[in-house]
Structure 1
């Protein structure tokens, strides 16, 4: 990994770093490309039942590049920053809108004794603490392993703008963080704000975590949403594509989205077993009186067959209830992955997922849609499989 070491007005580039550098900037990245098969996809005109073979970017982890750095301020303090861009490898475009640094953009101060305080566009407590215990939040499963619509954000589908975050150092196995995202609107303090916290505890082979995220807005009439607030691309918007309320514009937040979750991992020998539970409550979404509660139950397992070969798999049961579905649909998803490492930086993988949704009553959430697949299924089932190559730098 290359580091650019800057001291005063002198800039020096080195391959190994410098032991007494006062400051450093690191260029890093990840490229994930693959060929993906998907069954039963609808067409652009609404027709369905067609298989699709595609070149894809980020089937497991989003392709990205970034800069992170630190400057020693003395007395155990450091100035820190991170700028990270996500992109689509197959066409070279930004992965999210027109933002250059659409994944991360923050600056702050850090202390090994007192923790870190950072400001900017950042991840929330669900991503920081709970996602590492779920295969969707790791290199062992990723995008297509996510729970339906990634409603709990464990796959880091969106980040929090205008946020201030404190992250504690680890003490006796405990670590915690808290975040607040401002609406940045005069007269609309609660119109598109966010707050979140997370906690983890590690003891021997056990790893426990808890996360909470709340999003608030005032989206009762068209155009009222504050587009400069904490969140501008939420899972509530993605649900619009499967619900029948087509008169409501995409991108509108619910009045409230409250997500919480807890999980545990247990390490034994070359294997890790885990369980994760999440719950998301949405109220008054799509400018209506609709409300819904989504619950996800995930069991996962990974095993290092050899130092170079890793196997992983997960089963997720999800269900939705409330007055927004006309019933209680539920999902079953089975996902698996085999990974072979040529080196620490380069690997190839085969990965796939099968999803079945069982709608109840008149629920419009009646078709399968594996996360990260471009279009939903034309039926209650969908299969996705990817063979890919991943490189880190």
Structure 2
């Protein structure tokens, strides 16, 4: 009997060691709120919209994150992350089961991680955390149409990604997505590079993103749903829907934040271009021309108490003129966006928040019409002005 008890105890200890070497974590975010949106374009004109929506501050999700210790500082890692709409119970991202993220790979404590699957690009990884939308204003606070993808409007399929370890505040990485087209190595391919540096109150980041044939069903803007309709995401915003015939979508971005006590000041800039219009579909513009956006944001956050923060931000988007097929010019388009928000944490995992966004547009948009206000991920306005307000609650588990 004593030998049997000893054997059982040894087996239990063994099981404990095995369990400690491998782990799987269930996690998630539930975000729901009530919205007011003014000047929503309708079939007969415009009207105010009152509605409920999910995942504005952060996308509602549940996920599984796992790691297995392989020894010598090496681990096998994976993430499977689902997005959903809390109001209807529907799966988000076009019905993809793990549409937010899905990858597997190896992680080294000495060098970093190499992962394969559906993942975020380097612009999202390094610049994203420094913008107002990722901190306190949600996706409605991103630049119109999230034109620079800082707020992660687009995810990348079939991606090979490297993320370094943190070297005294410095971290960097890169991603390459295989287009998967026989006979055309560059079609639908996406690649990006980026890095960040964090040292005390100072945070800096830079990133580059290049996507070929972005509006294809397998391209960056078309691979975020299960539909085969090209440009499903980008087609919804007049800010750049007229430029989806481009052969290349390119983003160059930088950002920086500095904290003084309870206050944090931030700046970010991006240069976005839809290059070689008409090379990937019909276009109303002169073939081979580029449509270029220069975008900037200044943001401010103040931590009134450990539980209460407030924020202000201003975004400016400036698109240069584009030559039409008949040789004339479209003129420019400009978007001015003002943001305010506050977030109160009831606990470490639950908070309530209020966000207000006002946008004004001038000039001519990508469709050749008078530019209208187009707050990110909302139905565009019928005119140059639009305001939205949201009261929401978020819970993390």
Which position in structure 1 is the counterpart of 2:7? Answer: none
- Does the 8 Å contact 2:40/2:47 carry over to 1? yes
Match for residue 250 of structure 2? Answer: 258
Q: Hey, what's the Cα distance between the residues in 1 that align with 2:290 and 2:177?
A: 24
Task: Using the TM superposition, name which of 344-353 and 286-295 deviates more.
Answer: 286-295
The equivalent residue for 2:311 is 312
Q: Deviations over 1:191-245 (max 9, x none)?
A: 10000010111222111100100001297xxxxx4x3455524796555445599
The reply on whether 1:32 has 2:49 as its aligned counterpart is no
Q: Provide the C-alpha distance between the structure 2 equivalents of 1:103 and 1:18, rounded to a whole number of angstroms.
A: 33
Q: Which has the larger radius of gyration?
A: 2
1:69 maps to: 66
The answer to whether structure 1 residue 185 and structure 2 residue 177 are counterparts is no
**Cα separation, partners in 2 of 1:253 and 1:159, compared to 1, 3 Å:** farther
Distance 1:150 1:214 in 2: 16
Residue matched to 1:157: 153
Counterpart of 1:205 (choices 201, 206, 210) is: 201
The alignment status of 1:143 with 2:139, answered yes or no, reads yes
Report deviation, 1:172: 3.0
Does the C-alpha gap of structure 1 residues 282 and 337 become closer, same or farther in structure 2, counting only changes over 3 Å? same
Contact in 1 for aligned 2:119/2:157 (Cα 8 Å): yes
User: Is 1:270 paired with 2:269?
Assistant: no
TM-score, length of structure 2 as denominator length: 0.86
Structure 1: which 5+ runs fail to align?
Answer: 1-8, 11-16, 220-224
Q: Which residue of 2 aligns with 1:339?
A: 343
Q: Which residue of 2 aligns with 1:87?
A: 84
CA distance in structure 2 between the partners assigned to 1:20 and 1:135 by the alignment: 40
**Could you tell me the TM-score, scaled by structure 1's length?**
0.87
> How much is the aligned-residue C-alpha RMSD, in angstroms?
2.6
The answer (yes or no) to whether the contact 2:102–2:119 under 8 Å persists in 1 is: yes
Change over 3 Å in CA distance of 1:72–1:55 after alignment to 2: same
Counterpart residue number, 2:222: 232
- 1:281 aligned residue (273, 280, 299): 273
Q: Give the structure 2 partner of residue 392 of structure 1.
A: 396
Q: Secondary structure at the match of 2:20?
A: coil
Aligned to 2:369, which of 360, 364, 369? 364
Aligned to 1:383: 387
Count residues in correspondence. 366
Distance (Å, rounded) in 1 between the aligned partners of 2:47 and 2:341? 24
- Measured at CA, do residues 174 and 242 of structure 1 come closer, stay the same or move farther in structure 2, by a change above 3 Å? closer
User: For residue 297 of structure 2, what is the aligned residue in structure 1?
Assistant: 298
Q: Which ranges in structure 2 are unaligned for 5 or more consecutive residues?
A: 1-10, 225-229, 324-328
Task: Please tell me whether the aligned partners of residues 212 and 219 of structure 2 are also in contact (alpha carbons under 8 angstroms).
Answer: no
Is the 2:40–2:49 Cα contact (8 Å) retained in structure 1? yes
Select the residue among 50, 56, 60 that pairs with 2:47: 50
What are the residue-to-residue correspondences of 1:166-185 with 2, within 5 Å?
166-185=162-181
Q: Residues 292 and 383 of structure 1: is their aligned pair in 2 closer, same or farther, counting only changes over 3 Å?
A: same
Does the 8 A contact of 2:234 with 2:240 survive in 1? no
